[in-house]
């Protein structure tokens, strides 16, 4: 299926302009262009600097707790009766999700640039918590922009950020969710560009962010590749990850892109169902456009206005997606599929009950699809699912849906 793709292509993106095919680029106001250039040149220098890499690796080992385990979900796999399912346990990272892999890296960049303040956008709050955490450790001032709707849905994470010394700024414009938080973070950055580093949480935004975030998240796929070889003697037959902005997915997929036999599935949020229009699945049901600094697939109307999205998981509730995913879709290397709210909730309960692991609702979308995929495969095959975050933060959402009040 993937053999016709020229593998040298994967080494060519992004190009010097930050493009992945026609996607990506730098669509921002002129005020930010020099900051992006400065970031890019520092990143080029530091990414080849053994001292920076050592600093990063030490933090990942002793602060984050890497490598994260690759866990064989034996009981769940046996229940399904198809392929063996392995879970890449990003939920066991410090702060409970994959987000910290990236925030540590970007915070080190901020430190090297001499910035005293970091800002971030957050949806579910995981990236905000990861940013507040690393800001506390490095003694940086931290402000996190979060849609008012998400502040309500993710009260626990809001309080966590406050405990860590960050200021959470509720965003009341537009749809009051992740995209609006990102607008507001960009507005802050353009105003305070001299002393502020914007820690973007996903593989979107203007170049060089999609590349930087990808590189920092690739630790997931590098570890999973080595762990799969060690535990099973071979590479996985398939990889499955949820896709909102797409950072956990690109982190898992990227180190396997040249491995022909490894199929990849990015699972978007189907919300109430793609047919209803109430979802967050731009790769499945959107069209290319420009938002938040890059050209990518978007949920937009015929006039180019960005549409409101819906997903039970705040972290997937975003109308765009990282530009590299748009490119991977077009060249056919990754299949993008959906799991709806109900399927994700079912998977949340199943994994909790069968394996004693409570997944984030974001990750539950990947689990839902992986369950279906495994059922059609044989027990001598195996799948790696990125369990990108833990579900504690979602207990209120699940309880509310189940009609339970605390």
If one asks whether residue 245 binds another protein (CB under 8 A), the answer comes out as: no
If one asks whether residue 305 binds another protein (CB under 8 A), the answer comes out as: yes
Q: Scan residues 154-173 and list those touching another protein (CB under 8 A).
A: 173
**Contact (CB, 8 A) for 177 and 310:** no
Smallest distance from the beta carbon of 323 to another protein, in angstroms? 13
Which residue of 10, 27, 63, 72 would you call a contact of another protein, by CB under 8 A? Answer: 27
Sign of CA dihedral 318, 320, 325, 326: positive
If one asks whether residue 104 binds another protein (CB under 8 A), the answer comes out as: no
The DSSP secondary structure of 293-348, one letter per residue, reads EEEEEE-B-TTSPBPP---SSGGG--S---HHHHHHHHHTSSEEEEE-HHHHHHHH
Which residues form the catalytic set? 99, 121, 388
- Taking the C-alpha atoms of residue 363 and residue 361, their distance in angstroms, rounded to an integer, is 5
Structural tokens at position 105: 């890296």
Smallest distance from the beta carbon of 211 to another protein, in angstroms? 15
If one asks whether residue 33 binds another protein (CB under 8 A), the answer comes out as: yes
Which residue of 103, 122, 131, 183 would you call a contact of another protein, by CB under 8 A? Answer: 183
Smaller CB distance to another protein: residue 190 or 401?
A: 190
Binding mask 254-293 for another protein (x = CB under 8 A): ---------------------------------xxxxxxx
Residue corresponding to tokens 């990942």: 60
Smaller CB distance to another protein: residue 206 or 255?
A: 206
Kindly tell me the burial class for residue 93, based on how many C-beta atoms sit within 10 Å of its own C-beta (0-12, 13-18, 19 or more). buried
If one asks whether residue 114 binds another protein (CB under 8 A), the answer comes out as: no
Return the range that interacts with another protein (CB under 8 A); candidates 76-84, 105-113, 191-199, 250-258. 191-199
Which residue of 30, 51, 230, 402 would you call a contact of another protein, by CB under 8 A? Answer: 30
Alpha-carbon distance values, 218 to 61, 164, 225 (Å): 15, 27, 11
Beta strands in 70-160 (DSSP E): 70-72, 84-89, 117-122, 141-147
Q: Which residues bind another protein (CB under 8 A)?
A: 17, 25-35, 173-174, 179-180, 183, 186-187, 190-194, 287-293, 295, 298, 300, 302-306
């Amino acid at each position: 299926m993937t053999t016709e793709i020229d593998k040298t292509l994967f080494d060519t993106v992004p190009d010097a302009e930050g493009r992945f095919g026609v996607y990506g680029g730098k669509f921002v106001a002129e005020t930010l262009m020099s900051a992006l250039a400065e970031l890019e040149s520092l990143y080029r220098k530091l990414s080849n600097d053994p001292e920076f890499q050592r600093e990063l690796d030490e933090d990942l080992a002793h602060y984050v707790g890497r490598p994260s385990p690759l866990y064989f979900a034996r009981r769940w796999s046996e229940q399904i009766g198809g392929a063996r399912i392995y879970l890449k346990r990003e939920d066991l990272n410090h702060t409970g999700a994959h987000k910290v892999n990236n925030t540590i890296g970007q915070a080190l960049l901020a430190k090297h640039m001499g910035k005293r303040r970091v800002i971030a956008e957050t949806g579910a709050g995981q990236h905000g918590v990861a940013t507040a955490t690393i800001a506390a450790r490095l003694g940086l001032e931290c402000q996190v922009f979060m849609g008012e709707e998400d502040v309500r849905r993710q009260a626990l994470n809001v309080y966590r950020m406050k405990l860590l010394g960050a200021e959470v700024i509720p965003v009341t414009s537009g749809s009051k969710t992740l995209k609006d938080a990102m607008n507001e973070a960009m507005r802050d950055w353009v105003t305070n560009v001299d002393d502020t580093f914007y820690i973007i949480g996903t593989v979107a935004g203007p170049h060089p962010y999609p590349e930087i975030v990808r590189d920092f998240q690739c630790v997931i796929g590098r570890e999973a590749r080595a762990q799969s070889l060690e535990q099973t003697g071979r590479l996985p037959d398939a990889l499955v990850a949820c896709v909102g902005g797409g950072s956990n997915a690109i982190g898992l997929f990227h180190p396997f892109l040249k491995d022909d036999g490894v199929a990849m599935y990015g699972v978007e949020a189907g919300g109430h169902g793609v047919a209803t229009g109430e979802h967050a699945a731009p790769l499945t049901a959107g069209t290319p456009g420009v938002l938040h600094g890059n050209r990518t697939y978007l949920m937009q109307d015929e006039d180019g206005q960005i549409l409101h999205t819906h997903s039970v998981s705040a972290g997937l509730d975003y109308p765009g997606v990282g530009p590299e995913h748009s490119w991977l879709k077009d060249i056919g290397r990754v299949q993008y599929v959906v799991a709806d709210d109900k399927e994700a909730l079912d998977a949340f309960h199943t994994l909790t009950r069968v394996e004693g692991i409570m997944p984030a609702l974001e990750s539950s979308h990947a689990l839902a699809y992986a369950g279906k995929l495994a059922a059609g495969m044989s027990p001598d095959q195996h799948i790696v699912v990125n369990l990108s975050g833990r579900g504690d933060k979602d207990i209120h959402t699940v309880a509310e849906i189940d009609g339970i009040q605390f």
